Chains A and B, each alone.
Chain A
C-alpha cells in the first residue's frame, strides 16, 4: 500500500528531485548541497516541535542508511553518548519547571522535582545534538568530494589548503609525539606516573618540543608551496564545477520547502511549548515534512536490507 502511494508521489516532480538528492549518482553542486545542509540545520536549531525534530533526525538516518553509511551513526554515537547522557540527566534535575511532576524528593532544604516536560525537553535536545553531529558528515555524501574540493578551493582557498595540509600533518605529528615520548623516557621522565606535577611537567616538555617541530614543519611546507607556484589567487580547476539541471530543480524544491517552513513559523504552524505543559498539535506540522521523512526512511531501509547491512 505504502509502496503504491510512494509510486504515486513518484509521478510528481518533487519526489523525483528528492530522489536525486539521496541517490549518489546525481551528486549535487556543492552550493546546492551546502544550502540543503544549512536548511536542515535551521530546521533542527529553530523548530521546537518534537515531531519536526524527530522527522529531521529520521531524515538524516534515512539518508545515511541509503548511502550505506550506518557506520557513521555508530561512530558518532560512540563520541556523543556522554554529552547526550549529561543532557539527559542534567536537564530534568536542574530544571524543575513543568506541571506534570513524576517524582519529587527533598534534599536538605531543597525540593527536587522531576517533571515529564523537562524529560521530553532533554530528550529532544539530545536528538538535536546527535542530529547535528551526523548532519555535519552529510555534505561529502550528497556532493562529490572532488567538486567540494574545487568549490572550497575557489572560495575559501587558504582555509582549504590549511585543512588539506593539516590532514597530512596529523600522521607525522603522531610519529613526532611518540618519538618525543621515547626521548622523555630516556631523560628519566616517568611516562606512566600519574602524579599531577609529573603530568604537568611531562606535558610542558612534550608540547614545547612538538610545537617547535610543528613550526619547523610549517616552514618546510611553505617551501613546498613556493615550489608548486602557489599564489593567493585561484588558478585553473582540475575538476571544473558543472551546474546541472538537477541542481536547479533541487534549489527550486529547497526554495519551496524554505518558504513553507518560514510561512509555518510565522503563522505559528510549528508552534510547540514545553513548559509549563506540553502544548502543540500534529496538525501544525506541514504535510510536506512528513512525506519527505517517510520517503527517505523507506528508501534508506530498503537499500540497507538489499545490501544486507546491519544498522549498527
Chain B
C-alpha cells in the first residue's frame, strides 16, 4: 500500500507545513496560469475562426464559460474542505474552505458580467430572470454570505465553523445552476462542452477553451494559497512558528 499519500496529507494538515508548501507552489501555479491564460486568450480572440451565427461576439465564450465552470468547481472544492473541517475538526481544511469563497465570488462575478456583455448583443438584453442567470446570481449571494459570516465573528474559529455549515447548506444551489438549462426552458443555451458524449464545438474552438479551463484552475490554486498564507498569519499569530517567521522575514514586511 502506498501509505505515503495519507502520511503526506496528514503532514500537510499542519499549518506551518501548509504555509511553506503554499508559498513554494504559489509562484509556479500563478506563472503557469499566466502563460496558459495568455495562450488561450490569444488563440480564442485571434486564431479561432468566427462563429457562423454569432460572428466575433461568441469569443466571450473563452472567458465566460471557464469562469462559470470555476464558479461551480470552487464551490465543490470549498464544500469538500468545509465537510472535512466540520467532521474531523481539521483547522487547515476550514481555512481552505473560507479562503476559497472570495475566489469563487470573483469568478461568479466575472461570469455574470461577461454573460451580460454577451447577452446584450445576442439576446438584446443585459439581464433576464431566466433560471440559469438567477441561480448563478444566487450563487454569488451565497459566496458573499459565506465571506460575510466568516468575518462577522470575534473568534475566527467560531466564524469558520458557522460559515462552513452555510457552505454545506448552500451546496444545494450547485446542481440547480448546472442543470437549470435542462430542467427549465431557459433563454440560456445548453451545455456546449460535455464530459459524456460528443461536444457541440469545433476542435479549433475547443482547445483554447480547455486551455483556459486549466489556466483558471491553476489560478485558483495560486490565489487560494496566497489567501491561506495571509489568513494563517492572523489566525496562528500567537504560535511560535509565526513568531519565527517574523524574525526570519525581518524587514520584508
A and B bind: no
Chain A residues with CB under 8 Å of chain B are none
Chain B residues with CB under 8 Å of chain A are none
